[in-house]
Each structure stands twice: as C-alpha cells, then as structure tokens.
Structure 1
C-alpha cells in the first residue's frame, strides 16, 4: 500500500470502520458548514440596521458582506494544503474559534472598517468548512459515496442559509444585530469544543484517539491545551476591548499621545503586531505540536488585521515606522522559510480540467452569492413591499431548493454514471428560472416556488467538486477541493460588491427619512442582469469539461497527467 501525505494511504478498507462513528464525525463537520453558512448570509437581514449604524452606501454594504469572501477565497488553497498536512480535526476546531472571534469583532464594531474586519475573520474560519467536510468524506467513506455526501453536505449547509434568513431576521428585530452577532460567537465556541473531542482525522486513528480521551491523563492534556489556547486568544482580545489596559500601554509608550487614536485602537494595534511577532517565531520552527499550530493562524490574522488597520489611518512618520516593522516581519517569514510551491498544489494546478471545472462552479454559484446571500432580501422588500422577515423567508426558499437539489444531483449522477449531463441541465434550467424571477409577473407564492427551483437547479454545480476529486489522488483531496472552492467563492467576493456598485450608479438620489437610499425595482433588475450573464458563461464552459464517468482517474500524486 502506497503511503502519501499526512500518513494517509491511497485507499482504505472501509469495512473495518464503524459506520455510525463515520457518520458522527462527518456529520459534525457538516454542522459546522451549517453554522458557517448561517454567518455568511446573515448580513442580508441586517442591511437596514447596518446602513443606519454606519451611515453607508449600497456599494459599501456589498463590500462589507464581501469581506467574508475575500478571506474565504484567499484561504482555500492554504486550507487545502493544511488539511492534507495536519488533518481536519485540529483545523476545524480552530476554524470554529475563528468564526466566534469574527462574530465578537463584528458585534462590537465601532466603525464600518472594524465590522469589515469582523467579517474577514469569519471568512477565515468559514473557509475550513467545505474542505474539512469533504476531506473527512474522502477519508471515512468509499469514493462511490463522495457525490452523494457532497450533496447531503450542501443540504445541511443550505439549512444554515435558511436559518440565517427569517429566523435571524426575527432575532435581529427583537434583540438587535449586535446581540445577534454575540449569540453567533457563543455557538462557535460550543461547536469548537465538540469538534475537538469527537472528530478524528481518519479511521486508522480513531481507536487510538478514543482510548486517549477515555483516560484521565488524555483528558487533562486536552484541557491544558485548551487553557493555553485561551491565553493566546486573550492576549489579542484584552487590549482590544478593555480600555484601562490600552491606557496603560499609552503611558508606557508616550509617543502615541501625539497620534489621533483612541485607546482601544492602540490596544488593537499592539495586539496585532504582537501576534505578528508570534507568527514569525512559531512558523519557522516547523513544529507539529498543537499549541504552536494554534498560535500560527491567530498570529497571522493579527498581523494582517493590524497592518490593514495601520494603513487605513492618517499617515505619519510613526505609522511609517510600524509599517516597516510589519513588513520586516513578513520578509523574515518569507525568506527564513524559503517556502516553494508545495508539491501537491503544483500537481493540482497542472491539471487543466481542475481550472475549467472550478470556473464553471464559480459562475454557477453567483446567483446564490449575489442574490440569495445579500441582495435578494431588499429586492423582495421593494418588489412586494414586504417586511424584512417575510422577505427573508422568501429568499430562504433558495436554500430549501439547495437542500433538495444537492443530494438529488449527487444520487442521479452516481446512478447514471455521468457528471456532465446533469451539470449542463443545471446551467440551462438555472438561466431560465433566474430570468423568470427578474421579469415574470408572478405572485409572492409563485415567487417562492421560483426561488426554490433556483436553488434546486443551481445546486448541480456541486458535481464539479466530484470531478475535481476524481481527477486527483486521494492524498490531494484537501488541496484540490480548496483550489476549486477558491474560484467558487471568489464569485461571492465579486458578485456582491459589483451589484452594489451597479445600484449606486443607477441610483437617482432618493433617500428615506433616516437617510437610507431608495432603489427602484427597475434599478434592481438592471443591476441583477449580472447574474444571468454569469450563468451563460458557465454553460459555455461545458464542452471543455471532460467526463469522468464517476470513476477516479488518479490514485497517486506522481501519476502522469495524460489521463487528466
């Protein structure tokens, strides 16, 4: 048996593992995807509140929502590499913590910029959900279950999208958007603890890990790791939120008295650069222990956020000095490690079919990211004069459609032994339904049916993930899925602000009494033309995608590319 990255063999004897245990492990990862999608779509029911709080435009609101995607898309390839190297358990645990961290930053945000940073941090955590879930599916189940499990994962996740619409809208109306974000943070912390103690990387480690957790020594070791992990987090949070500590920092470093910064911002800046230092120190050590691994992503996040925050402030000589320090940290990290393009990523990127399938998936996902996850709620509020919760319920039908269509596409594709035929049908049917949603004179009930069909038909793009899985070796599943998910979710980073920009360009200057801009139905329809254009381009890619006949075309990393 040939052994490859992270100690994973090319194929497992799945009869030796417990089906119930496999379902539990994979199910927890799917629940994390539910949680991640709930966070992703929640701003769509907060738009009015966010507009009043931050006095911002449609383009800026689109940018706020898209900051989730900026992190999500940028992290997919690194996440895939990390999954193949370290395994899903520790990474999904840290990911849930990052989501909780982002919710806290978002909920306490004093400005639009900090709110964007909160969304960015959520995106960092959420970026592990799909890759981790599909990595566990490939490690715990045979390959002929992969398409079906992908569909079921989508179904579970889209229920999170449903929950992030009308139920979250009701919560926002009752307790406000800030308190709602804090509830999201609590959920993330609870989920991270459950994942840590239950999820196992693959069946061959299961018995060993269970024996460890059943012992008092193993439990104490886990609790000690969590304690140290919490201390690392506290070093970042405490100066960010507690004014007296920031005041103490100012007294020690009086140079900051001449800078137009509030105390919390100073603490935030120090926290970011402290974590930037940790990022440099612990990354180059190349240790595989849990604590430094936990510090690395936290440190990197602080380094990035601290630098972005610094660049957003009025420029001065002191800020130039700190910018130089941050760039020095980055240079040390880059040149001390001399990290080349990893072998696995290089192997994935050399396969043309990976690029084409990823492009198809990204374009087909645009109706969900651009319409279902952000602009659908205000569109239906304007078209049918609905309240926020009612419009959220109408939009949530797209996620119900995903929940039905995802598993159905996977089952049909496996049944007929084809990938391309269902993918082509998905593109054509999605184009027809999207056009009907925009222009057909239908009642609210009929519109709910159309939104359901939009979700059901467009979910067929998940078969592109199966194609990418089948043309790459098992050991590269995480890297391959991360790559396709990068282009897939780049669509959200593009679609949401583009539609917002188009709305701002079409805006005639009308505002409500509270200062919120008013967009007419015609403006929405013109801006949303971006969506069917993307679907048409997705259909054009179909002749260039090769049929895999639902069979793996690669079993080794070093297999020649002639068959792919």
Structure 2
C-alpha cells in the first residue's frame, strides 16, 4: 500500500514538472514561432500569457472536480490536455489553433498544482503531507530548470518538432500510468457549497492579499519565464547557451526561498506582511542592480538567486490567505488565492511584450530579432514598478488588519 501511495505521489509530481517544461517552451522557440506563423514578438508574449488565462479560469472548477471525482480521472484527463494543447504548434500552420491549444495547456496544468496537495493529503498522514507536497514542488522546479539550457540543447540538436512529439508521447504514457495506478476514491468528501465559494470569493482579506501578491509575480512569470534569455543575451552580451541557463538560477533560488520562508513563518507565526514586504524590496533592489549592467556574471548569479529566493513569497501569500478561513475551506481558499496571483502572469507576459513591440525598430539579424539593451531594460522596468505598488498596498493592508484586530479586542 505504501509503495503504491508513493508511486501515485511520484507520478503526480512528474506531472507537475512536465507541465512546467511545456509552460516555458514558447520562450525557447520564440524565433521559430515568429518565422513559421509570421507573427510579432507581441503575439509571442501574448501566446505565453494565454497559458495563465486557461490556468486561472480552470483553477476553481478543477479543484471542485478533484474533490468530487478524485485524482484517478481528473489528473490523467488533464495530463492529456497539456500535451494535446501543445501539438497545434507543429500540426497546423494556422496561428489561431495554437492560441486555443495554449489555453488548453493552461487548463490541464491547473490540475498539477492543486493535485500535488490533494494527493499528499489523501495518501499520506497529516504530519507527512506537507513534506510530500514540498518535495513535489522541488520536482516541479527541477522540471522548470530542465526548461532552460537542457531543453534549449535538445531543440537545437533534434529540432522542435521532434522534441514536442517526444514530450507528447511521454505525456500520453504519464496519463496512462496515472489512470492505472491511482485507485478510485471511495471516501466521502465533505462537499463545498456555493455559499462557501461565494464567501471566499467576496472575502476582502483573501482578495487583497492575493491581488498585491499578484503584483509581485513579475520576476517569475514575466522575467524568468519569458525574457531572461533575451535580456542577458543583449543587455549583458552573454552567449545564448549561458543566457538560456540563467532562468535555472532563479528557480533554484525559489526552491530555497519557498522552504526557508515557510520555516521562518513557523518561528514567527504572525510576520506574513513583514516577510512579503521584505521580499518585494529585495526584488526591487535586485532589478535595479541588473539594470546598471555592473559586474558581469559575478553580480548576475547572486542577484538572480536573490530574485528567486524572494519569489518564495508566494508560499507566504497563500498561507496568509488561508488563515482567514476554517480548515474545511483551506483547499478552496488556496485555489482562489493562487488563481488571483497567477492571472497576473498574463499581465506581465503581455505587458512586457507589448512595450517591446511598440518601441522595437524591427531589426532582425540572421533570422533572430534584435531589441537592444535600452529597450529591454525599459520593458522589464514594469516589474520593479509593480513591486513598489505592492509594497505600498501591503503596508496599507497591514495597518488595516491591525486596526481591525484592535477593534475586535
């Protein structure tokens, strides 16, 4: 029984890593997409952002389906959606099919994030479930690391058609194994009512902390996912292989930060706001340092690690959001909070790409677009600006919370 539980957990964790790789593929193959479909860089940015549209819209329905039907049917079905949504890139010459497919990838991927918590709570004791969910996050981040230099190498060596077909075959196998290994859920789950959903959706504390958390997601969902390679290739004149691999440094930092900040909260249980605000300041300072172009790789590596470490604030944001609800609504509150945070991924992907597209002089050398250091710095400046807005919002929300606590005493 224990071995089967571990296998179910491992397959679910691999699904989380798998969708992470599919999420970052557009960043790696952007020049090929521009050439094949005759689109602009703004279209590529919007394409990357559409993942978050599907991901966000599906969050609550997927959470409800997992509670109602269990992981046996939902996780394999969503695995199929993730690789099916990627196939239009190589099967059709019409860009609209790829756009629809990208949304489908986001819908399927939504189940991976919720699924790791669902599986950990179903198949492991309560004292172990958090640890197993954390290990799933590590595996997922390792998948994101593979979406950097290793994926770039495979695409260069074998071509993107071959790589996408191979990943699709792996996804098909993963879906089949999930279906065969996972048993049907016989336990009666406590049903979540429409009233519970309404109470969470209109809970101002959950909405506001998640909104300001969303303003801080740009370093991961806009920069690391979409513009790291172009930024360091042009601003710091690094070679393409090195520039592609630097997103992995951010992910390693996030892995470390997620665990460290969660441990910090265990010791200082009511310091959510202080931790999130400190993370925001750390990321603002890091981006300003990158914009100065000082120090080369010796400055870039620790700076990117700090950005990744501070991006672990997302765990703290969710912890704060679920502190406003009873235990039976933790899952739904997590889905709502994460949904709000992740929708900003679309904003950052699209916003940065729009700025680049509006100001770009359309220079192309050997089939690759050349944007220029000044333009890329200008476009990514939207990230520290949003981080600063989040700081003021969180300070206001912190004071508001304290006043309400004082009034209730």
Shorter-chain-normalised TM-score: which range? Answer: 0.7 to 0.9
Match of 1:451 among 277, 296, 304: 304
Assess if the C-alpha contact under 8 Å between 1:136 and 1:202 holds in 2. Answer: no
Which is greater in Rg?
A: 1
Q: Separation in 2 of the partners of 1:383 and 1:505?
A: 19
User: Do the aligned partners of residues 91 and 477 (structure 1) sit closer, same or farther apart at CA in structure 2, a change above 3 Å counting?
Assistant: farther
Are the structure 2 counterparts of residues 367 and 73 from structure 1 closer, same or farther at C-alpha, using a change threshold of 3 Å? same
Candidates 63, 84, 95, aligned match of 2:46: 63
Contact 1:369 1:496 in 2 (8 A): yes
Gaps of 5+ in 1: 1-17, 206-340, 549-561
**Pair 1:500 & 2:359 matched:** no
TM-score if structure 2 supplies the norm length?
0.88
User: CA–CA distance in 1 between the matches of 2:7 and 2:70?
Assistant: 17
* Residue 89, structure 1, aligned to residue 72, structure 2: yes
Aligned to 1:536: 388
The separation in 2 between residues aligned to 1:26 and 1:357, in whole angstroms, is: 30
Task: Using the TM superposition, give the Cα deviation of residue 417 of structure 1 relative to its aligned residue in structure 2, in angstroms.
Answer: 2.5
Question: What per-residue deviation string (whole Å, max 9, x for no partner) do you get for residues 115-149 of structure 1?
Answer: 22222221111011111212333445566767665
- TM score, norm. by length of structure 1: 0.65
Q: CA deviation at 1:175?
A: 1.5
Once the two structures are TM-superposed, the CA of residue 504 in structure 1 deviates from its matched residue by 1.4
Question: 1:361 and 1:150 mapped to 2: Cα distance?
Answer: 21
Structure-2 residue corresponding to 1:424: 277
Output aligned runs, 1:309-388, within 5 Å: 342-388=194-240
Is 2:36–2:93's contact at 8 Å kept on the other side of the alignment?
no
User: Paired residue for 1:76?
Assistant: 59
Q: Distance in 1 between matches of 2:376 and 2:184?
A: 46
Residue in structure 2 matching 1:119, options 90, 102, 113: 102
Structure 2 partner of 1:155: 138
Compared with structure 1, are the counterparts of its residues 366 and 141 closer, same or farther at alpha carbon in structure 2 (3 Å cutoff)?
farther
Asked if 1:401 corresponds to 2:248, the answer is no
Distance 1:80 1:473, change over 3 A: farther
Q: Does structure 1 residue 53 correspond to structure 2 residue 45?
A: no
- The CA deviation at 1:545 is 5.2
Separation in 2, partners of 1:26, 1:70:
27
Q: Which residue of 1 aligns with 2:363?
A: 510
Separation in 1 of the partners of 2:308 and 2:129? 21
Aligned to 2:294: 441
Match of 1:461 in 2: 314
Shift of 1:454: 0.9
Is the CA contact 1:154–1:406 (under 8 Å) kept in the aligned structure 2? no
Q: Is the 8 A contact 2:24 2:147 kept in 1?
A: yes
Question: C-alpha separation between the residues in 1 aligned to 2:77 and 2:398?
Answer: 36
C-alpha distance in 1, partners of 2:33/2:243? 17
Pairwise mapping of residues 31-430 of structure 1 onto structure 2 (< 5 A)?
31-140=14-123, 151-199=134-182, 342-418=194-270, 419-430=272-283
Change (3 A) 1:141 1:432: farther
8 Å Cα contact 2:277/2:391 also seen in 1:
yes
- Secondary structure of residue in 2 paired with 1:541: helix
Cα separation, 2, equivalents of 1:49 and 1:445: 32
User: CA–CA distance in 2 between the matches of 1:187 and 1:66?
Assistant: 24
Tell me, yes or no, if the aligned pair for 1:155 and 1:404 is still in contact at 8 Å.
no
Report if aligned partners of 1:147, 1:414 keep a CA contact under 8 Å in 2: no
2: CA distance, partners of 1:66 / 1:350: 26
Matched, 1:519 2:379: no
Which position in structure 2 is the counterpart of 1:555?
A: none
Q: What's the offset of the Cα at 1:468?
A: 2.9
Relative distance call for 1:457 and 1:147 in structure 2 (3 A) is farther
Aligned length: 397
Q: Report the Cα distance in structure 2 between the residues aligned to 1:149 and 1:413, rounded to whole angstroms.
A: 19
Q: Distance in 2 between matches of 1:185 and 1:148?
A: 30
1:490 to 337, 340, 343: 343
SS of the residue 2:93 aligns to = coil
- The corresponding residue for 2:404 is none
Q: Secondary structure at the match of 1:476?
A: helix
Q: 2: CA distance between counterparts of 1:546 and 1:141?
A: 39
Moved more, 111-120 or 122-131: 111-120
- Verify the 8 A CA contact 2:120 2:130 in the aligned structure 1: no
